[in-house]
Structure formats: C-alpha cells, structure tokens
Amino acid sequence: DGGITQSPKYLFRKEGQNVTLSCEQNLNHDAMYWYRQDPGQGLRLIYYSQIVNDFQKGDIAEGYSVSREKKESFPLTVTSAQKNPTAFYLCASSVSTGTNEKLFFGSGTQLSVL
Amino acid sequence: GNSVTQMEGPVTLSEEAFLTINCTYTATGYPSLFWYVQYPGEGLQLLLKATKADDKGSNKGFEATYRKETTSFHLEKGSVQVSDSAVYFCALSDSGYSTLTFGKGTMLLVSP
C-alpha cells in the first residue's frame, strides 16, 4: 500500500538536544511538507519542498531544518534553537504544489520535552 | 494575507442530528477551498474540496458550497453518526501553491 510513514510516533527531547523526525513516502510525489499542530491552533507550515535538493521556509521555520536528498524522504530536525518544541508534527506530500492538489498526511509524531 | 476562521468547538450532537460547521476565509486571490478530517491519533484526510465559486464539494454525506459573496465554505451533513466524531479543518490554497492555510479546527463529538 502506498502512503506516508512517519517515525517515531512518540519522541522525547532533552534540553539542548537536536532531534530528527523521519518522513518517508512511496507515492512518487514531488512535493513534501512539514506542519506543526498545537492544541486549538490548527496547523502551521514549517518547511516544504517542491523537488529533490530544494526546499522553502514556511511560516514558522525558525529553530527547524530539513533536507531533501531523495524524493522519498524529507526528514525534519528540531534544533536546540526551537525553544518550544512540544507539539504534534505532521508530514504530508502531494503530486506537486498546484493549487488544487490533494495532500496526503502521515499519522504524525508527538514530540515532548523532558 | 490569507486566513481561515472556523467556529469553535467542541460541537456535541446526538446521532442522526444535522451538522453545520461554519468556515469563512480571507484570501488575496481566487482560492481553492478544502475540508480535512482528523480522527484521533491520526493525520489529516481530505474530506471534500471546491475550486471555484458556487462549486459544491461532497463526500460521505458531507457537503460544502463555495460562496464567494459571503467568503464562506460551511460544512454540512444531514444525519451524523458516532463514527463522524473527529476534528474538522477548513483550509484554503491560493496563488498556485499547495501550501494550505488551515483554520484552527472544530472538534465534533457525536453520542449514540
């Protein structure tokens, strides 16, 4: 079955530590996205990538970094510069970044600070 | 900039009741409008969409009509089921990019 796989489902970060969230898709989609979800605040875009080796900042990119070395993979690193990292992180993909494109979402990673 | 405003939840209904979740938007261009649904512990799934004014999106008994004059895209269902309990997100996509702008989400709780 095609889809998006996020791992791990739960992740804990210590103070000053960088952590990386994995996102893999086998849908052959060009575009991939990272969203952050906080209770009562909806989803906010962190980064997105329209093609391999290229990515753009979203609305809340500070304290995060990404890479897109392979079409299938779009890992997100939450750096120590992100002072409030506790949230639910959702990865998504679409065929392209056209206006009407449907987004496919992974099942998310819950990141908490120890 | 673009924005989406949804009614606050939770919306609590009995099974077979009529559902309306209000959504209004602000956009600079001519956006496409979407409703996504999130079941507990999962990611979002596209429920329905409309790409131009007066279009009606529909799926699984849910409907929403793109009203340009009122900048609205209200979600409706004639008879809800317990299995419809979830968080519903209204969203828009503008300017040729699929970087969606989401509303804050509305939780729906349906009791038997």
Query: For residue range A35-77, what is the model confidence (pLDDT) as tens digits?
Result: 999 987 889 999 999 999 999 999 999 999 999 999 999 999 9
Q: For residue A10, what are the contacts with CB-CB under 8 A and spacing of at least 6?
A: A109, A110, A112
CB B34 within 8 A of CB B49: yes
Residues B54, A63: Cα–Cα separation, whole Å: 41
Distances (CA, A) of B8 to A65, A104, B21, B93: 32, 25, 9, 22
Give chain A's mean pLDDT: 91
Q: Does A97 touch chain B (CB under 8 A)?
A: yes
Mean pLDDT within B100-112: 94
Q: Does B44 touch chain A (CB under 8 A)?
A: yes
pLDDT band at B18 (very low <50, low <70, confident <90, very high): very high
Query: In this predicted structure, what is the pLDDT of residue A100?
Result: 66
